[in-house]
């Protein structure tokens, strides 16, 4: 029997973790996944972790680490709770993360209020009005969709 677990934390708790040591955060998240694997005998996917904002909206999130020219690069990616729509993604700064955290909070709060950033030009657009302008997890405004992404999507083969 497979178990589909979700670990939900508040925005405040995630922000507190993002302000601290990012290696510790990644180790803690991986430790939680290993713990639940030992209980359920089933490895949980990356969508196990959720963050819930002040509106009660849940989002899947992932913090990744990579190396670039001997430096650690950390990225926060946030999707809607289904993992189908990218709501926020960005490189976590080494220092002074206030602006980054504000951008993250604004993106998830805007999504709760029906607004999402265009995947190309980054302007705020109504989600419901543009949700069919999708290429993979990104949503595009009318202008970006019609001038570039509609043709790219039309060429995709999904078989």
Q: Give the DSSP letter string of 107-121.
A: HHHHHHTTEEE-TTT
85 and 140 inside one domain: no
- pLDDT number for residue 28: 92
Reduced to 3 states (helix: H, G, I; strand: E, B; else coil), residue 156 is coil
Chain mean position to CA 144:
22
Q: What is the pLDDT of residue 3?
A: 60
Same domain, 27 and 103: yes
**Is 133 strand, coil or helix?**
coil
144 neighbors 119 (Cβ within 8 angstroms): yes
**Is residue 1 domain-resident?**
no
pLDDT at 123: 95
Domain for residue 16, yes or no? yes
In this prediction, residue 13 carries a pLDDT of 94
Judgement on whether residues 74 and 144 belong to the same structural domain of the protein:
no
Same domain, 80 and 143: no
Residue 149 lies in domain = 116-159
What's the domain count of the chain? 2
Structure confidence at residue 2 (pLDDT): 58
pLDDT value of residue 48? 82
CB 153 within 8 A of CB 135: yes
Q: What is the pLDDT of residue 1?
A: 55
Query: Based on the domain organization, do 96 and 31 belong to the same domain?
Result: yes
Q: Are residues 27 and 65 in the same domain?
A: yes
Name residues of the chain where pLDDT drops below 50: none
> Does residue 2 sit within a domain?
no
Would residue 19 count as lying in a domain? yes
pTM of the model: 0.87
């Amino acid at each position: 029997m497979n178990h589909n677990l979700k670990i939900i934390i508040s925005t405040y708790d995630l922000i507190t973790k993002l302000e601290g040591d990012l290696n510790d955060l990644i180790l803690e998240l991986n430790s939680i996944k290993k713990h639940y694997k030992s209980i359920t005998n089933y490895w949980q996917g990356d969508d196990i972790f959720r963050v819930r904002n002040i509106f009660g909206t849940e989002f899947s999130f992932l913090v990744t680490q990579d190396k670039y020219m001997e430096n650690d690069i950390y990225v926060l990616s946030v999707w809607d709770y289904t993992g189908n729509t990218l709501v926020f993604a960005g490189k976590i700064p080494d220092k002074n993360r206030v602006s980054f955290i504000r951008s993250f909070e604004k993106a998830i709060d805007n999504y709760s209020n029906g607004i999402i950033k265009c995947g190309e030009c980054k302007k705020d657009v109504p989600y419901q009005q543009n949700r069919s302008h999708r290429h993979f997890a990104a949503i595009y405004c009318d202008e970006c969709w019609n001038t570039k992404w509609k043709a790219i999507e039309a060429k995709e083969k999904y078989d």
